[in-house]
Amino acid sequence: MSGDFSLPQRLRLKRFFDEATHERRYWLPTAVIAACFAVTAILIFRDSGVVPPHPMDQSFAGTADLRIGRSGGTWFFHYPTLEYSGGITSSLIAGLYKLIVPTSTETLNWHIRILGAFLWLGSALLLILRFVPTTATRVLACLLVGTSGYQFIQPTSELFVGALLALFLLSSSQRWPYPVTAFFLAGFGLAKVEMVAAALAGSLIWWIWEARNHRAKAWMTLFWTGVWMGIFLLPAAIVAGNDPTSINRSFLCFKLSYVDLFNHHQFSGPLQLSKDIDIHAFADQVMAKRFPGADTVFEIITKYPGLYAQYLAVSAVHSLPVVFHALKFMILPMALVLVGSRQLVGLGLPLSLLVAAAVLSLAPALMLTIFRIRYFIKLWPAFVALVAGGCDQLTWSKGIKSSAVLLWSCGLVTIAIQLFYFQDMWMNSHYR
């Protein structure tokens, strides 16, 4: 995505980045993120410290357990499997934290949520300092991240995924050692089951990029990604048996989403689902009536393609407003950055990786359910950093002042909207 520049453009860019580097005003954006983290921690402490039970996805924080012990003459070790709500690496992060830091039933959720917010906000700051050259735009980007309220979202695994993706983009752009960068990529891919395809695509893009730039041993990108994934997956296969993805969460997700979308007009049943109705039992009845003989999403797609196409169309229509609600007006400067990506220096690889991560994490979700804001949280830090950095470059490489105007106008409006919904994001963190 990086193109050729004329000599005047190169000199202008060099002067721009030299000036930005010499500013060294890291303290101001760091202070903004620190203030956002302090507010976040205070508000989290005002919520319950008890981890919600299953079937809430946040329950992974309570079930994550890496202790090895002996009970009744039998050794026990509860290694997470991929289809748990915390995936493998998110559960490992929570489990390792619980091994190191003393917690209790009454305080565990505070610990895990604050840890997730710290990693998410901290990795966002590192990305912003890496890709955004000017202090003013860095502050804007930090405010876009900090005022989003996304750091409150539960399950906290979404924040872990976002932090690991940000660290992968940071390390790959700075060409850290392959084993380190691949560790972050594998961790991202196994933090939630729906991230696996995005991680595999990311490793392929990373390898192609390294090979095109004639890097020695570019194949090590694929090798180390495979090694780390194997290391994380092997204990799950040993502990959980031959099928570490034995929980069919995809079918559970689909049937509940189907009921939610079509309950009012597709089949007979209660028009208003209330707490008095067992939603799972009702959804099972609907599946048996609409898709007899289908016990998996794959069987629904192959046996009832017409009905599934109807579902997919309605789901897409319902999901479109959520895309705007999650990304807001920052969609406009991102479109400008993508169109002008050939004029950008150093953003080609991270932009390619971000697009792949977005497509391959959101597309599987759309096949099973309606979009929720939480699905975009993993992308938000990288999205903001690359938009801000790209617009800064466009402003200076060709003197496109309109890119700065668009970034700041959309950014300030987005911050205002986020502040308006900030309390809602905090109070309803389970349902966003």
Longest dimension (CA), the chain: 76
| Window from 231-240, 269-278, 304-313 with minimum mean pLDDT | 269-278
Quote the pLDDT of residue 228.
94
Q: How confident is the model at residue 265 (pLDDT cuts 50, 70, 90)?
A: low
Confidence of residue 21 (pLDDT cuts 50, 70, 90): very low
Q: Is the pLDDT of residue 245 over 50?
A: no
Closest CA to 351 of 204, 169, 132, 190: 169
Estimate the share of the chain in helix, then strand, then coil, as percent rounded to the nearest 5. 70, 0, 30
Residue 244, pLDDT score: 42
Mean pLDDT of the region 78-85 = 77
Pick the range with the lowest mean pLDDT from 57-71, 115-129, 130-144, 363-377: 57-71
Q: Residue 343 forms beta bridges with which residues?
A: 2
Burial of residue 166 (CB within 10 Å: 0-12, 13-18, 19+) is: buried
Give the pLDDT score at 278: 63
Q: pLDDT tens across 324-354, in order?
A: 989 999 999 999 999 887 777 888 899 999 9
User: pTM of this prediction?
Assistant: 0.86
d(CA 126, CA 176): 14
Q: What is the band of 289 on the pLDDT scale with cuts at 50, 70, 90?
A: confident
Q: Are strands 74-77 and 68-71 parallel, antiparallel or unpaired?
A: antiparallel
Task: Check residue 225 and give its pLDDT.
Answer: 94
State the pLDDT confidence band at 1, using cuts at 50, 70 and 90. very low
Which tokens hold the place of 301? 């797609």
* Structure tokens belonging to residue 394: 């466009």
Please give the average per-residue pLDDT across 282-294, as a whole number: 79
Q: What is the pLDDT of residue 253?
A: 78
- Of residues 72 and 353, the one with the higher pLDDT is 353
- Tokens, residue 407: 């970034």
* pLDDT tens per residue across span 163-184: 999 999 999 998 899 999 999 9
- For residue 190, the tally of other CB atoms under 10 A from its CB is 26
- Place 4 in a pLDDT band, splitting at 50, 70 and 90: very low
pLDDT band, very low/low/confident/very high, at 202 (cuts 50, 70, 90): very high
How far CA 26 is from CA of 30, 111, 126, in Å, comes to 6, 28, 10
Q: Which pLDDT belongs to residue 339?
A: 87
- How does residue 22 score in pLDDT terms, banded at 50, 70 and 90? very low
Residues 6+ apart with CB under 8 A from 107: 49
> What pLDDT was estimated at residue 51?
84
Q: How far apart are CA 9 and CA 247, in angstroms?
A: 55
Q: What is the mean pLDDT of residues 278-300?
A: 78
Other residues' Cβ atoms within 10 Å of the Cβ of residue 7: 7
User: Residues, the chain, total?
Assistant: 432
Distance CA(210)–CA(227), nearest Å, equals 18
Least confident of 222-236, 242-256, 324-338: 242-256
Whose tokens are 């004639």? That residue is: 214
Residue 149 is inside which H or E element, if any? none
Q: Which of 33-42, 97-106, 207-216, 288-297 has the highest mean pLDDT?
A: 33-42
Spatial CB neighbours of 316, under 8 Å, sequence gap ≥ 6: 366
% of the chain with per-residue pLDDT over 70? 85
- C-alpha torsion 286→292→297→302, nearest 10: -140
- 19 pLDDT exceeds 60? no
User: What does the alpha-carbon distance between residue 93 and residue 254 come to, in Å, rounded to a whole number?
Assistant: 28
Encoded tokens for 142: 């930090």
* pLDDT tens-digit map of 382-426: 999 999 999 988 887 667 788 889 999 999 999 999 999 998 888
Cβ-based neighbours of 8, under 8 Å, separated by 6 or more? none
Helix (H) or strand (E) holding 78: none
**301: exposed, middle or buried (C-beta count within 10 Å: 0-12, 13-18, 19+)?**
middle
Residue whose C-alpha is closest to residue 130's, from 168, 88, 185, 84: 168
Q: What is the pLDDT of residues 98-112, one digit of tens each?
A: 989 888 889 999 999
Q: What is the average pLDDT across 71-93?
A: 77
CA 146 vs CA 40, 47, 125, 273: distances in Å: 9, 19, 10, 36
User: Is there a contact between 347 and 390 (Cβ–Cβ < 8 Å)?
Assistant: yes
Amino acid 72: pLDDT: 66
Checking if the pLDDT of 140 tops 90, the result is: yes
What mean pLDDT value characterizes the chain?
83
Q: Is the pLDDT of residue 128 over 80?
A: yes
